Amino acid sequence: MTTLLTAQQVVTPARVLAPGWLLLDGDRVVEVGEGAPPRTPDLDLGDVTVCPGFVDLHVHGGGGAAFETGTPEAARTVAAAHLAHGTTSIAASLVTDTREVMERTVRDLARCVDDGLLAGLHLEGPWLSPARSGAHSPGALALPAREHVEALLDAGGDAVRMVTLAPELTGGLDAVRLLVERGVVAAVGHTDATYDQARAAIDAGARLGTHLFNAMRPMHHREPGAVGALLAADADVELIADGVHLHPAVLRTVFAAKPGRCVLVTDAMAAAGAPDGDYRLGAMDVEVREGVARLASDDGAGAIAGSTLTMDAAVRFAVTQAGVPLADAVHAASTAPARVWGLDDVGALEAGRRADLVVLDAGLEVARVMQAGAWVSPSSTPA
């Protein structure tokens, strides 16, 4: 039996339909249209905006739990915490740890990918620059020797979808080529690379910048570094829209410079959707105060350690604080990340794709969430 939904606005990859409607059949979108619906709707959602379910390619935790523990229970807690905020497809990002720990965690979480709980795994390390390690354990950083890279990829099989690395490291470009050969997205991040070094990585097949500007050599007008290389190249860029990692003017500027190539990510740690307090990010102690996560330090001014962001808040910040058009922000939170990872089944409201929906009210707050054709939380269930 099909279900017809109507709403004041429906965001599609091509444009915003106002008013719009969606015809669903089970867990699939059958048709999307504008104007008068083909029949009396089964549910009129009213003066809301319906978006595709959000896709987060870079997230470490949420709801008080972290993917780094490697347990299915933690993975379910994290996924549920972000699902309540509209993220219907979520990656598990792993921070730097010892080789043994990372291989074990990758093997354990690969089962959650096979079960459909996770969209894939993202290895953020251990092949990062010591000069730009951020909240990664310096003692566990390593050079990307082929045998090490292959071992971590083999541990996860097809579940490993993305690896962030510093291409200037010895063996870095060879690692980029290996990742591309294995069908894994190579992302440039936590890097002190010069423009030429970053450009060489892009030429070798790297096609994403991990949290642009953060944990990268600063852009300079005579040495643009990795930031300049990624902005100038045919590459996508991650952006953390929380007002902590990037100034709103920077966010707005990058969206204007890279139309369709911006990818909103949360880089969330365990405190996303949880109270302030003391947490762990991999092997590092983290203090969360007033929603800002930093490495524990005597003066409270440690390095930023991920975020407490959720994707709905990222979209809201991009639109209301940075002046990014709603359609562009939604594209960056859904369609663009799905494209980067080749997730053809999600990320857009189009015929044949999975029925993942986020219903936003006039204030861009989440009113309801649908995943695979089902309303997924009590607050999402229509009366």
pLDDT in tens, 327-370: 999 999 999 999 999 999 999 999 999 999 999 999 999 999 99
**Residue of 311, 366, 300 lying closest to 338 (CA atoms):** 311
User: Phi/psi of residue 274, each to 5°?
Assistant: -140, 165
Q: Is 154 a catalytic residue?
A: no
Task: Name every residue whose Cβ is closer than 8 Å to that of residue 156 and which is 6 or more positions away in sequence.
Answer: 106, 107, 109, 110, 113, 121
Q: Looking at the predicted structure, is the pLDDT value of residue 300 above 80? A: no
pLDDT at 299 (0 to 100): 65
Q: Do domains 2-51+348-380 and 54-341 have the same CATH topology?
A: no
Mean pLDDT, all residues of the chain: 95
Look up residue 209 and give its two tokens.
């910048």
The lowest-confidence range among 139-143, 188-192, 379-383 is 379-383
Rounded to whole angstroms, how far apart are CA atoms 268 and 262? Answer: 18
The CATH code that applies to domain 2-51+348-380 is: 2.30.40.10
pLDDT at 379 (0 to 100): 53
For residues 144-153, give the mean pLDDT: 97
Burial class (CB in 10 A: 0-12, 13-18, 19+), 239: buried
For residues 46-75, give the mean pLDDT: 97
Rounded to whole angstroms, how far apart are CA atoms 323 and 325? Answer: 6
Q: Looking at the predicted structure, is the pLDDT value of residue 378 above 60? A: no
CB crowding 267-292: b at 16 or more within 10 Å, else e? bbbbbbbbeeeebbbbbbebbbeebb
- Of how many residues is the chain composed? 383
Q: Looking at the predicted structure, is the pLDDT value of residue 301 above 70? A: no
**Residue of 4, 86, 65 lying closest to 310 (CA atoms):** 86
Residues of the chain with pLDDT > 70, as a percent, come to: 97
Rounded to whole angstroms, how far apart are CA atoms 275 and 270? Answer: 10
pLDDT at 284 (0 to 100): 86
CATH architecture for residues 54-341:
Alpha-Beta Barrel (3.20)
Res. 194 pLDDT band, cuts 50 70 90: very high
pLDDT at 298 (0 to 100): 62
Res. 282 pLDDT band, cuts 50 70 90: confident
Rounded to whole angstroms, how far apart are CA atoms 55 and 336? Answer: 9
Across the strands, what pairs with 288?
277, 293
pLDDT at 302 (0 to 100): 80
Are the CB atoms for 97 and 137 separated by under 8 Å? yes
Domain boundaries, the chain: 2-51+348-380, 54-341
For residues 259-283, give the mean pLDDT: 94
User: Phi/psi of residue 165, each to 5°?
Assistant: -150, 165
Res. 297 pLDDT band, cuts 50 70 90: confident
pLDDT at 161 (0 to 100): 98
For residues 315-319, give the mean pLDDT: 98
pLDDT at 171 (0 to 100): 98
Look up residue 140 and give its two tokens.
């566990």
The answer, yes or no, to whether the previous bond of 126 is cis (omega within 30 of 0) is: yes
Across the strands, what pairs with 295?
286
Strands 366-371 and 120-124: unpaired
Question: Can you give the three-state secondary structure of 159-197, one letter per residue?
Answer: HEEEEEECCCCCCHHHHHHHHHHCCCEEEECCECCCHHH
Q: Looking at the predicted structure, is the pLDDT value of residue 267 above 90? A: yes
Rounded to whole angstroms, how far apart are CA atoms 213 and 219? Answer: 8
For residues 79-96, give the mean pLDDT: 97
pLDDT at 120 (0 to 100): 98
- Describe the chain by its helix, strand, coil percentages, rounded to 5: 30, 25, 45
Look up residue 20 and give its two tokens.
């719009």
Other C-beta atoms closer than 10 Å to the C-beta of 100 total 8
For residues 37-57, give the mean pLDDT: 97
The 10s digit of each residue's pLDDT in 198-237 is 999 999 999 999 999 999 999 999 999 999 999 999 999 9
Task: Name every residue whose Cβ is closer than 8 Å to that of residue 108 and which is 6 or more positions away in sequence.
Answer: 70, 71, 72
Catalytic pick from 97, 267, 312, 356? 267
Task: Look up the pTM and report it.
Answer: 0.95
Rounded to whole angstroms, how far apart are CA atoms 221 and 115? Answer: 48
Residues of the chain with pLDDT > 90, as a percent, come to: 93
Q: Looking at the predicted structure, is the pLDDT value of residue 259 above 60? A: yes
Q: Looking at the predicted structure, is the pLDDT value of residue 381 above 60? A: no
Rounded to whole angstroms, how far apart are CA atoms 113 and 41? Answer: 35
